[in-house]
Each structure stands twice: as structure tokens, then as C-alpha cells.
Amino acid sequence: MKSLPVTPFSPAADRTIEISVPGSKSITNRAMILAALRAGTTRLSNALFSEDTRAMIACLQKLGFKIDADETARTIRICGCGGKIPAPSAELFVATAGTAARFLTAFLALAPQGSYRLDGSEVMRRRPMKGLLDALEKLGCRFTFHGEAGFFPFTMTTGGVPAGTAIAVDASASSQILSALMMIAPMRALKISLTGTTVSKPFLEMTTTMIGQFGGKIAGSAGGYVSDGGGYASGDFDYAIEPDATAASYFAVRAIAGGRIFVRGLCRESIQGDTRFFDLLEQHDFVRREISAAGTLFLPGKSLKGASLALDFNAISDTFLSLAAFVPVTGARVTINGIAHTRLQESDRVHAMATELAKIVGAQNIVETEDSLTIAAPQDLAGTLAKATLPIAVDTYCDHRIAMSFGMLGSVDLLGNARPWLVVNDPGCCAKTFPDFFEVLAKMGAR
């Protein structure tokens, strides 16, 4: 399907819509690398099966790891080799998965005599790798680039990581660069220092926590991280993947437009930094929450019509699109700051959101800077849309988060006639992290 008209719906005031979201992509792909670093069999439950995680599974299998993946049961069993990589050479394709690209590249550096060719999609070939590759060169890796230097595709030759090495890394473009090095650090007692700052710091906290959960040790130090080189625990291990907080963000913002949305399994205790998005929504009155052991109920917040807000999304940048798409229904003027690094993700997300939101609210109500996006919602959005040529077709730039954000906005019955007013182009790009998103959305609107 190349385009999808989104059928809008108005939730009944006395009806709670219950939904489940997939397991976290960020946790699933970290867990697979950590499982491969352990010695013994690790069983991952509630694992996400999507383009990104399937790419990681396929790459680990090509590297000689025994993996039993059951998509129906949502489980993955991995037999780890205690930091050893069975295959001395392989050709690996990571598709569009940034986590697989960064995590696998650092992981391969552990091989004492390896030669590995890595490539990805056209989108992945444009995503930042240089900070990681520069650091790995200091650890003895050598790279032969088959295109632009510092980017996929390349062949890496490895000599094993010397124990106790101190390295400096530039992770300003992506926290995944630093997370990749952190996960191999316990195998070789690496001392990692940062040159400058990094972004999305909650993901580093997630990495630190997961390293500990898998039996490794790493600690923050002045300007970086240190590990004792004790490796990871051994033996059989069960690990449960949390529901994806970023995926839940699309459903949380739906409550801004009315209704009661209950996300099963989304609880207060979480290792995902993107749960801070829900704190932000409640703090600024976009929504109200009722949290229980079973999940979180999202309810409409206060009227924000005429309000002006400035919000910092640097630490939770994957969720900025979820809110940006819903600003038009709030009647508020919202500036989202700290998002310059998202220009280097699956798409230039700042420019993409500015371009597509302009189709809905008018270009005069959008201000784009290098590090921010301001959306001024029309005070009469229904009247604005009534003058537009409908349905409005939104381009998604092969970016799953753009597709899901606007897909959710399209589900709001802004014209009160239950007719599609928004069309999402290339909805299939959601397969990257949430393959059945639009099926779940359709069920939300079913009576």
C-alpha cells in the first residue's frame, strides 16, 4: 500500500480504549548484543519483531550465533559465547537500523582476527558513524570505505581490543555511538571519555542499567565511563522486554483530543528515558494520567488555547514528533527545542515535520531553526481545514515516527463527519518498529 486514508473517530466519553504496544526496540537490540556477550542461553520475552530487530537477529546468525526466534510467542533465545565471535568473517546488512549499525560495529571489534563487510539502506548510508569509527581505530580496527569515508558501506579488519585501553569518543551526533562502546567495555576494562557532549542521555542510563542486569559492571566517571573488565555473567538467563515507551507516546497524545486511552503494561517503573515524555505532557496540562500496576490511563488535560510554551526535548527527542503532530488541535503556540541532532536520523525530522505541519496549519504558523520547531496552532483549526483541499496528503520520508505521528493526528475527527481528511503516504515504513500500528489504530476507532 502506497498511501492510506486515515478514518477519524471520536471516542465515547464513557468508553476506555485499551491498547498494547510492542516491546521496546531500544531494549530488544541492546539485549541481543548483551546476550551474545554472555556465556550461556538468554531467553528474551516480549521481544519486538520489526525490521530493526530482524536485522539484528540476521546479523548475529551470520556471525555464527545460535538464535531461536519465535515471533508468535515474542521470544528470542540466544546462545552467547562469552565475548567470542564464532565467524571470523561475514557480510552484514543492517537495513535502516541505527542500533544494529552502531552496536554490531563495536561488538565486532572484539574479534582478534576478523574481517567484516557492513552495509545498510540508502538512509543508513547517510547516518553518522564517524565518531564510533574514529574511536575503534584507536582500538586497532582498520576500515576500508566503499563509498564516502566515515559512512556505510565499509569493511572492517579487527585485531581484538587491548585490555585497559583509554579512548576518547565524539558521541555528539548519537548516543548510540557511546552505548555501543559501553556494552563492550566490561569485556576489556575500557576507559571511555567524551570529547564534548552527547544527546539523548537517558539512553545512556538505559545502557548502564542493562549492562548491570546482564551481570557486567560499568560506572560513570569524570567525563566518561570506566569498567573493571570482569565481563558478563554466565549461565541461563531470562530477561523481559518492557513495552516501548516511544510507541506509547503516539497513543498518549491522542487523549489531548478527547477520550480515555489505556496503555497496558506502561507502568511507573521503567528503564526507558522516553517515559519522561509522559511527565512532560502532564506537567504542561496536555493530558492527565492514572497509573496502576496494569498500565497507564491517559485522559484529556486542560484547555491550552492561547497558551505559549517552550519545551526542551533534547533528552527525549524520539518523542518530539508525537507532540508536534498534535499541537494543531491544542490552540497553543509550542516551541520544541534541543532537536538539532534529529536532522541526522531516519530523515531530517525537524524539516520534515515543519514541511508537513505547514500543510495543515499554514506555513505562516511554522518557524524552523537549526535546533527548534515552533508550531502556532490556528484558533479555529476546523475552519482552516474547511478551506483546504482535502484530504491532505502527508509525506513520511521513509520515517516510521513521522508516519505514526500523523497517522494518529488523522484519527481525530476535526471536521465532525467521520470522513478521512488526512492521507499518510508510505504507511509501510512503520515496519521498522511497529509493523501493525495502523491495524491497532483502526481497532481503536472500531465501535
Let me know the angle formed at the C-alpha of 419 by 417 and 422, rounded to the nearest 5 degrees.
Answer: 125
Q: How far apart are CA 291 and CA 268, in angstroms?
A: 7
- At position 138, the amino acid (one-letter code) is K
Let me know the angle formed at the C-alpha of 92 by 227 and 66, rounded to the nearest 5 degrees.
Answer: 70
Edge to edge, the sheet with strand 237-240 lists 67-70, 75-81, 39-45, 237-240
Give the contacts of 430 (CB within 8 A, at least 6 positions apart). Answer: 400, 403, 404, 407, 437, 438
The strand ranges marked E within 265-417 are: 287-291, 295-300, 308-312, 333-337, 366-368, 372-376, 392-394
Cell digits of residue 156:
572492517
Q: Using N-to-C axis directions, what is the helix angle for 175-188 and 201-213, rounded to 10°?
A: 30
Cell digits of residue 415:
471536521
Active-site residue, selected from the candidate residues 318, 395, 399, 413: 318
Q: How far are the Cα atoms of 111, 151, 159 from residue 115, in angstroms, in the given order? A: 9, 17, 9
Nearest to residue 45, comparing CAs of 62, 12, 19, 23?
23
Farthest CA pair distance, the chain: 66
What is the per-residue DSSP string for 189-229? T-EEEESS--S-HHHHHHHHHHHHHTT---EEETTEEE--S
- What is the sign of the dihedral through the CA atoms of 182, 186, 188 and 190? positive
Q: Does 348 participate in catalysis according to the annotation?
A: no
Q: How far are the Cα atoms of 46, 82, 362, 382, 422 from residue 385, in angstroms, in the given order? A: 41, 59, 10, 5, 10
Residue entry with cell 504496544: 21
Q: How far apart are CA 121 and CA 96, in angstroms?
A: 6
Give the contacts of 434 (CB within 8 A, at least 6 positions apart). Answer: 21, 22, 50, 244, 247, 400, 404, 440
Question: What amino acid positions are annotated as catalytic residues?
Answer: 318
